[in-house]
Structures are given as C-alpha cells and as structure tokens.
Amino acid sequence: MQKASIITIGDELLIGQVIDTNSAWLAQELNKLGIMVVRRIAVGDNERDIEDALNTASDCRLVILTGGLGPTSDDITKPFLLKYFGGKMTVHQPTLLHIQYLWNEVFKRELTLRNIKQAEVPDTCRVLPNSAGTAPGMWFEKNGTIFISLPGVPHEMKTIMQEFGFPEIQSAITGQMVLHKTMETFGIGESMIADRLMEFESNLPNFIRLAYLPNFSLVRLRLTAIYAAHYSTEEVLSSKFLELTTLLKDVMVSEDDVPMEKIVMDMLHSRKKMMATAESCTGGYIAHLITRNPGSSAVFEGATVTYSNRFKTNLLKVPEEIINTYGVVSGEVVKEMLHGLLQVSMADYGIAVSGIMGPDGGTAEKPVGTVWVAAGSGKNQLIQKFHFRFGRQQNIELTAMNALNLLREVILMEESGD
C-alpha cells in the first residue's frame, strides 16, 4: 500500500485557536484510494520547522501540506517552497484572471498588489486551480515523492482536491483497493466488546483488520480489508461483517457509520413520524444534533428549552406540587415534561431531560451528573436515571446520546408490539 504524510502549517493550530479538520478529511479520502496516511505533523509558521517536517515526511510517496498560502506576512509557505524546490516566482495567468474576476465582478472591490501576488507560484510546480478562492494549489515532485501544497481554508482545500488533486493522484499513484464496513454499538464499553470478540478477531484473515472507535457510550467497530488478489475480498469482508453483527446483535444500533441522531431521524422518516424535545439541562443540544442534519424538518416539530421551574410549569404544565415533592431532577418531573411536550407540540414522539451537569449544583442525594430522561409517545414511554461522571460538556453530550437511544428503543418497542 502506498504511504502518505500530511503536514498542517500555522501557529493557530499549535495554540489550539483553530482545530485541524483538514487532516482527518484528507486521511479518509486518501484511504478510499488505497493510500495509507502514516504520519500527521503540525508545525508553526517557521521555515526551519516546515523544512524538518518535509524532510521527515519525504520517505512517503505522497506529502500533502495545508496552510500558509494567504496574502499576509505570516503566510510563509509559498516563499519557503520556492527555496526548497528551487526555480523562480512567476505569475500564473489563469489564476490572475480568476482573481481579477472575483475582485471586479463578485466582490466589487479594488484589486491590490497583495491580491495580485496570490497568483504568483514557483515555476517548478504544477498549478491546481482554486475555483473556491484565490490561492491555488501547487504540485511539486522531488526524488520520487509528490508534494501538494494547499490552502488551509477547509472548503477551498476540499474543492481543489475534489476537482484536481484526487484525480491527479489516482493517475500518478497506484493504490490498493481498501474496503470498509462499520457498525455501531451502544451501552457497553470497548473492553467488554473486545472480550466478546477474542475468538472472532483471532480467526480474521490477515488482510482484514478490526478497529475499535469508542466515543462515550457508543463504540464503532470498523472492519478494513486491503485487496488480496487470491481472495474475493469484498465477499470475505461481507461474510465477516455479518458474523460480527450477529455476535453483537444485542448491542448493535446501526450497520452504518452514522451518528445516533441520524439513526433516530431515519427511523422516524421511514415511519412518517415527528418528534420534539423538552430540554432543561442540555439547553437545546439535542435539538441542535437533530437540526444540523439536512432533512430534519421532515421529522422534527421543534424544541422547548424549559430551563427554569417557572418555564416548566407555565409552558409544559408540570404541576408545582410534583416539582416541590420530588425535585426538578426526578423521574416524575421528566414524565410530566414529556406529557406536556406531546400536548403542546402534537408530535408523535418526544424526549424530556432534566439533570445536574456541573461543575456545581449537586447534592449528596443527587450529585453532579445525575440525569433523568423520559422518551416516548402518548402510548409508551421509557424513563431512566443516569449517573455521569465527566465535565459539563461531556455530561451534556452523554445525556443527549442516551436520550436519543431511549427514543430509538421506544420506536422499536412499539413496532414489535411490546
């Protein structure tokens, strides 16, 4: 299998001001081409560090750099690449025409010398046009290694690679076929799953690998097959994946690599049902997870963030005596919240949550991380208490995942007639 390295450039990455999403996307896409990313390096805007990274990475067939191609003084990647690969700086006329069009026709602004310099590239590179921005990509070759320099802006980087980079890479590098199959489990930890799969793993052929990808209560399991000429690779992978799903059918929530909210959305969509949320401790986070997905309007009626007791009483009609008797973080209160939500929204299904996210607010009886969740319909509900032990944001995310899973269980329960 051909190997690649990814180098991300920018001080903002090292101080945590910007999260590097480029590397993850590039690695996923390259893997589809049969190219394995073996190294990811992040460096600041420093020539010596960039040079060290390039020298380290040049043992691979492909090196991709992102960042440092802007028009300001801290963008040093292009001048450095001129030194590293030699040649002279020249104006790439198609890029200049593109920049002129953007400034004159789209932005309606005066073109400056700084903007024009964006069209300058070393004459030792092949230009990869950037239809989404101004800084073009650059393709260099040295000692059998391909080096591709790209803008750090994610949508520009992706556009260049999709339109030009990946097709050119496919032509230049022959990668092996790589196949993936991913399933998702919920409710048991990575180590418990691994114990159950010891015999399964030991019997995998040498061209198939099993990876564990844990995230709170959800664990993804990915089978990866690297093409083996003497086997029907896809057939063997499918057979092993079927065996895996059978072994874990009691905890499997999906045979695809999709988030929990998408699993629930797809279930609702196929049944032509709608849901709503009544959120206290999560502050609308569950609604956010749903509505960040295209097509959410087909399954989502809306949300109430009933944070205060007064809001719960006035909007969802939770009786004050229930709150006073049992406390706002209780099964009795979330049950009433769910009932009120279904009445107000006219949704088929609902989720109601109330809890103590931290870092303070807990008591001996109800410590930080105590959460009650109610999920269901007018006919069936599941009400469950959880004890989470993390920080505030993690507790919110765990609450959302478990609430959505409870709703998933109710939908399945109603379908089976239980």
First vs last C-alpha separation in the chain: 50
Give tens-digit pLDDT for 296-344: 999 999 999 999 999 999 999 999 999 999 999 999 999 999 999 999 9
Q: Are residues 388 and 279 in the same domain?
A: yes
Bridge partners (DSSP) listed for residue 349: 275
The confidence score (pLDDT) of residue 163 equals: 93
Same domain, yes or no: 230 and 322: no
- At residue 320, φ and ψ (nearest 5 deg) are -60, -35
Q: Do 104 and 166 have their domain in common?
A: yes
CATH number at residue 103: 3.40.980.10
Whether residue 294 is found in the same domain as residue 279: yes
In a domain, 418, yes or no: no
Residues 73, 91: Cα–Cα separation, whole Å: 19
Both 71 and 183 in one domain: the answer is: no
Domain limits for position 365:
260-411
For 21-41, write each residue's pLDDT tens digit: 999 999 999 988 889 999 999
Domain boundary among 151, 172, 193: 172
- 117, 208: one domain: no
For 74-113, give the DSSP string. Answer: T--HHHHHHHHH-S-EEE-HHHHHHHHHIIIIIS-----H
Q: How many domains are there within the chain? A: 3
> What percent of the chain clears pLDDT 90, i.e. is strictly above it?
82
Indicate the residue among 237, 254, 271 that finishes a domain: 254
Closest to 5 in 3D by CA, of 76, 67, 69, 53: 53
CATH of the domain at 249: 3.30.70.2860
CB 287 within 8 A of CB 351: no
Same domain, 129 and 226: no
Return mean pLDDT, the chain. Answer: 93
Do 186 and 243 reside in the same domain of the chain? yes
Per the CB < 8 A criterion, the answer to whether 363 and 370 are in contact is: no
Residue 60 resides in a domain = yes
Tokens of 308: 């205060």
The answer to whether residues 274 and 239 belong to one domain is: no
The stretch 57-74 carries a mean pLDDT of 90
pTM value?
A: 0.75
